[in-house]
Structure 1
Amino acid sequence: MRVIRKYANRRLYDTQQSRYVTLEDLRRLIIDEEPFRVEDAKSGEDLTRTILLSIIIEQEQADSDAEVFSNDLLAQLIRVYDMSSPLPLARYLEQGTQLMLQQQQRMQNQWQQAFKNSPMELMREMAEENMRFWQSALQKPSQGDDDDKPS
Structure 2
Amino acid sequence: MAKSKTANESEPVVIKKYANRRLYNTETSSYITLDLLSQMTREGREFVVVDAKTGEDITHNVLTQIIMEEEQRGKNMLPVNFLRQLIAMYGDSMQSMVPQYLEASMDAFRKNQQQFQEAMKGAFGGGPLADIAKRNLQMFEAAASAFGNGVPGMPNVPGVTPAASAPTPAAAEESKDEEISDLKAQLAALNAKIDKLT
Tell me, yes or no, if structure 1 residue 99 matches structure 2 residue 170. Answer: no
Residue of structure 2 equivalent to 1:37: 48
Q: How do 1:2-151 and structure 2 match up within 5 A?
A: 2-64=13-75, 67-86=76-95, 88-114=97-123, 115-116=126-127, 118-127=189-198
Cα displacement (A) at 1:85:
4.4
Normalized against structure 2, the TM-score is what?
Answer: 0.59
Q: Please report the TM-score for the alignment, with normalisation by the length of structure 1.
A: 0.75
Q: Which runs of 5+ in 2 are unaligned?
A: 1-11, 129-188
Q: Quick check: 1:80–1:87 contact (8 Å CA) kept in 2?
A: no
Dislocated runs of 4+, deviation >2 Å = 84-87, 115-119
In the alignment, the residues of structure 1 paired with residue 21 and residue 127 of structure 2 have an alpha-carbon distance, to the nearest angstrom, of 52
Q: Aligned equivalents of 2:91 and 2:193: distance in 1?
A: 40
Relative distance call for 1:110 and 1:84 in structure 2 (3 A) is closer
- Structure 1, unmatched stretches of 5+, are 128-151
Return closer, same or farther for 1:3/1:112 CA change in 2, 3 Å cut-off: same
Which one-letter code corresponds to 2:86 in the other structure? L
Give me the whole-angstrom Cα distance separating, in 1, the residues matched to 2:190 and 2:77. 26
User: Which of 81-90 and 39-48 deviates more?
Assistant: 81-90
Give me the identity figure in percent.
35
Larger radius of gyration: 2
